[in-house]
A and B are shown apart, each in its own frame.
Chain A
């Protein structure tokens, strides 16, 4: 029984870490644009598909996926970062100054365009991608059997968050980005270049999406053109309950959503288990009723309340 509990917790930690990364990607862009980028899930899809050669055939040929691990990782992150930057250039930048709702709807459209390009190049068939089969082997520890990939997921998520925190706190770009997400107009009046700081947030958000693609593709071994959707949904909810505009909040919120979905899956009675997501979202509604400002209160908002 104790073993089942521990394994569930490790499972929950790894899903929590994954959703925290996805939510951070959304939160970063929300910080500077004040818009939830609904194409974020499709950025994740692009990363996963960059691993295989475009073709409509059932069996996938590895493209980036055939490279040695370091190149594969860098390549995937680069592809998603470029797609994100291109999206900024073609979609978000021309809409600078438009209302947030306009930009949000444009991000939906962008997501559909990306999805359909993937559909066109790769067909709607889900494809098997076997990246690092050895990572799915279990690792024995104190009587537990932990798939190595889960340890990797938690480690990578934690490392990326630490790296992002160091960047935001210690580098001048990071400080300017935090200033811009608190008050973009004031930051610009002081000489912070809006286009550059937004492009930087977009690029970082893209790189985080790339990391999520790699983890999901390795974990499931399958890629499909709609794979980003559910991740986006959970991460978006994480961003909201974490408190929009707070990066710590986004990460915590994403983590909470991922963690609790695994715990619910493991401990709900069998009859109720199919309704897991409904129960999870009911909890989200409850949190928002009790704490509409999110778990982490953004400092600028505290002043206005």
Chain B
């Protein structure tokens, strides 16, 4: 079980690094918003894996809040874009 959990952590970390590459190179704001949203999804997955690893259920509340805020951020950015914010940052 330990080995599988470590492997999961490794794969998720690799995925996070790849998403971070997209977050850095952009090139536009919507691209970065999509990257941030995926980053939040991966973080929720990681919190789930960590809950299994430490055998504590308290982390699930963090996962719920993480999923909520990521959605709100995406909608907020989209409204900002449609109202005419800077597109090439």
A-B complex is real = no
Q: Residues on B close to A: CB < 8 A?
A: none
